[in-house]
Amino acid sequence: MKTLTKLVLIILNIIPIFITPIYATTNTVDEVIKSEYLESSSEKNELNNVFNANLGSLSETVIDLNKVNDSNNINIKNIKNKDMFKIYTFTDDIVLTYENNKRVEKLISNKYMWLCPLTDENGNFVTCAIFEKISLKDTLAMRPNIADDKDSMKYLKDNDGKWVVTRVGNDFPVSYMSLITDKNKLIELLKENNIKSPSQVKLVLPDRYMTYILYIRQGNDEYGIPFTMREDLTGLQNEKLYKMDDLVNILKEHFPPDYSSNGLTGGGGSVVTQINPQITVVSIIIISFIVIFTLGIVFVKRHKKS
């Protein structure tokens, strides 16, 4: 009886060893999403200073952009830090290389930019600005001829390693800016699609395809939620969760190698559901308990024989 009691105590002490690593690697949507916002970044103060230093020029640029619509009274309001969101790029063309890689994750660059939505004096979203960190080395590697341009080289040298505004304009759909910049709304969207414990959530901007893709990895599965100003040309539906296979195939259909846009129409794709990963965790725990208990019985029988 004492031997059996000891065995039970041993099992109870061993089970947490199996359980703890499993739960330690399970991320909540809140934890993963939080790291993508400037509010939680160590770069918060630096980016805020860059924004304030460029406030005047940003305001003038937005006014110029809106002159077409006779919106000359546009003034930029100070942006809250939490409104900025990281943007990543692909290291290669997603459609042309996806079939070989079979994982979009491998195509996402480690480097990122910041998407900064701009609002008017009433708090309405007007457009967005992109903040990038200047790298003299990387720029020369991509554009070696720029070394002959004295003005460009001076700018690169003066700003090497610094965050600067590199773009202002509406390439992100204005109507969805409130979603991407509001952490709670984005979390709600993901949870509605059964994305409850992702390991990655990243906003990625391909070089082509006129589409921002919210890349999601949960378990071994990859998904994408597109945000595009041209649903008619891309064939993708904004704010809809796609399996990555479906998303890439739709882009492939609508953007053939010659990228002809004749007769392109929208549509396609399928909404998916996700199995709760906690089921797998429970299964592993049960199997671990059975294995340990079986080994314990064998140990007791051998102990009695001896």
- Residues 8, 137, single domain; the answer is no
How much is the average pLDDT of 159-169? 89
d(C-alpha 250, C-alpha 82), whole Å:
33
Tell me the C-alpha distance between 102 and 256, whole Å.
Answer: 19
Work out the average pLDDT over 205-222.
92
Burial of 146 (0-12, 13-18, 19+ CB in 10 A): middle
The residues with which 212 forms a beta bridge, in sequence order, are 227
161 phi-psi bin (left φ>0, alpha ψ -120 to 50, beta other): left
Examine the domain organization and report whether 14 and 68 are in the same domain: no
Residues 124 and 60 grouped into a single domain: yes
Q: How far apart are CA 277 and CA 29, in angstroms?
A: 13
Among 1-5, 154-158, 273-277, the minimum mean pLDDT is found in 273-277
Does the model's pTM come out above 0.85?
no
What percent of the chain has a predicted confidence (pLDDT) above 90?
Answer: 31
Domain that holds residue 116: 27-276
258 and 285 share one domain? no
Q: List, in order, residues 6 or more apart from 280 with CB less than 8 Å away.
A: 219
Structure tokens, 256: 């053939």
212/206 Cα distance (integer angstroms): 7
Residues 9 and 61 in one domain: no
If one counts the domains in the chain, the total is 2
Read off the DSSP letter of residue 144.
Answer: G
